[in-house]
Chains A and B, each alone.
Chain A
């Protein structure tokens, strides 16, 4: 990866100055990832050990997406738990028993750390070991931090997947391991493409069932589907796997480059690759044509939120003809974004961290045609005549791969079209 960074063409903005800001952040914490992780892993339960705030956050972020019997809950700390850690551990065991008694179909439980549990130094790693012993053979108990003092929004998924790495079975097989939560239909599409190229051994992480996780070993090649899994990738590398250098599978060209990064490693010939991707790529390009007409020449600013900002700015620039004014991201992980940063044009204002008041001042001065931002900021920006896209939709909607390329672009077209209609 490092080699790639050093070979950066001067035109890219990989080496450009980054505006680093420290002030109020306006982002979710890593607990939010539970909303999509619990839907993906159908036998996993997420128990947040935190406060009423944590419970309220997940509920607010999940909004209407909550199922009748959600597989997450919060163990809310009260004054007595703060008074003594010994009792607090007993209480936690009692709550875990209560959950597992009610939910016999759970194979894996994640104890999810929060700001309060971390500040009082409640050792959830220890608790997970203790409880794993008690439930040996029935439920595996793992632990990770989703706290707002350690993680932003999508980093929760990174920590969750990283927590699973040590328990993945070892495998010597040469296999492709695709990391990042994808909707099942998107997973199936990718699997079909790889199968058609002759790559049979393809695994996904997280898998649909937590009790049948993928294996990992020295012949495992990691292909990241999401640009926020740096810690997971590094943990997998620690188990011998190799990280493939690729952009992210957004848009017709992004998806092609991503697939190709894997194809090369498996010795797929250029001809065979072409034959497989030709059809779906043509469909994606066709779907993008009207979107490009609507978006070309318009300006866009990303406020820091999901970590998808850099790859999506690249997609909107390269495949939709938009001009990115500012691309803000909660943190820049250069190792896993190297390819993407190269593809951003020079002159884009790249910012890391946040001082929300100052950043909004810049948005008001820039007046981009479209601002991609969190839910707390969208309506106030709309009220000032700016058009917005909620970044959380980009995390919750199927946006990866060829078949979704048009839908992805359409997510950005929609707010523009709506305000055109309002203007008439």
Chain B
């Protein structure tokens, strides 16, 4: 137990929300009580985004405990997939749901939701927000690109000689300090040295866009706190 008068970082599921909110065509079903919906205001008020974050909370209550919280999860997953029709559905839980062990990730994988499902494990009692963002981005890339991964020991691809090299800029995401200005600046600098930007992610990217990551020649890990896990 630790006395906290002020916390600079939120819990890991808020990190996962930052990835989901930055991207397009992703939806996040979070097994969490009603009060955890406060996190929406971080995006709509503090960051002034004009859309709700793509998150559906199960908002279970005390009277649901021991009865049908798992049912509530599957119902919420089905409704969210139907209503939002995402390319990728993330399924995870906040601190309280972690204790009741409904395993929303496994439940989602066992359902036919008509979209790719990526289960998230976000240990709320040992990890924090940035870890949650990095882990979610990594899980998303690994989940989507596992089939395209080169065999271990495959030599690095040669830099092309017939065209300008292309880079992925990885790390810009929701609720990141100054990230919009940083993107403009880095694009300008890359152009100056003759490098094209292939993809910026997660901010503004869809899961389909992430599939094209291997088309670039190299990755720039702009914010290690978000993208280092995915880049390594």
Contact = CB atoms under 8 A, between A and B. Distances in A.
B44 A115 contact: no
Interface in A38-94: 51-53, 55-57, 59-61, 70, 73-79, 81-82, 88, 91-92, 94
State the majority secondary structure of interface residues on A: helix
The 8 closest A-B pairs by CB, nearest first: A29-B35, A148-B35, A376-B40, A383-B50, A148-B33, A91-B1, A115-B96, A51-B95
Given A27-B35, A28-B35, A375-B45, A79 B126 contact: yes
Nearest to A88: B1
B42 A148 contact: no
Contacts of A26: 34, 37, 40
B41 A51 contact: no
Interface in B40-76: 40-42, 44-45, 48-52, 56-62, 65, 76
A99 B3 CA distance: 8
Task: Give the most central of B14, B58, B124: most A CB within 10 Å.
Answer: B124
Interface stretch (B4-12, B109-117, B137-145, B202-210): B4-12
B99 interface: yes
Nearest to A51: B95
B124 to A, nearest CB: 6
B33 to A, nearest CB: 4
Given A70-B5, A374-B41, A380-B44, 18 more contacts: A24-B37, A25-B34, A51-B96, A52-B9, A53-B10, A53-B96, A60-B42, A75-B1, A95-B1, A115-B95, A148-B34, A148-B96, A149-B65, A152-B35, A357-B56, A357-B83, A380-B52, A383-B50
B38 A60 contact: yes
B214 to A, nearest CB: 35
A57 B35 contact: yes
A378 B45 CA distance: 8
A120 interface: yes
A119 interface: yes
Given A24-B57, A25-B34, A82-B125, A119 B1 contact: no
Interface of A: 23-32, 51-53, 55-57, 59-61, 70, 73-79, 81-82, 88, 91-92, 94-95, 98-99, 115-116, 118-120, 147-150, 152, 357, 374-380, 382-383
Contacts of B40: 26, 375-377
A56 B3 contact: no
A376 B41 contact: yes
19 contacts: A24-B37, A26-B34, A29-B38, A31-B35, A51-B125, A53-B36, A53-B124, A75-B1, A78-B126, A95-B1, A119-B99, A120-B99, A148-B33, A150-B62, A376-B52, A377-B44, A379-B48, A379-B49, A382-B50
A149 B128 contact: no
Contacts of B11: 51-53, 56
Contacts of A376: 37-38, 40-41, 44-45, 52
A74 B58 contact: no
A25 B38 CA distance: 11
Interface of B: 1-7, 9-11, 13-14, 33-42, 44-45, 48-52, 56-62, 65, 76, 79, 83, 94-96, 99-100, 124-126, 128
Nearest to B12: A52
A81 B126 CA distance: 11
Given A59-B7, A374-B41, A29 B124 contact: no
A149 B126 contact: no
Contacts of B5: 70, 73
A60 B59 CA distance: 19
Given A119-B99, A375-B44, A76 B1 contact: yes
B219 to A, nearest CB: 30
B40 to A, nearest CB: 3
Task: Give the most central of B4, B40, B56: most A CB within 10 Å.
Answer: B4
Contacts of B2: 75-76, 78, 95
Given A29-B34, A379-B45, A53 B3 contact: no
Nearest to B2: A76
Contacts of A88: 1
Contacts of B42: 60
Nearest to B99: A119
Nearest to A119: B99
Contacts of A60: 38-39, 41-42
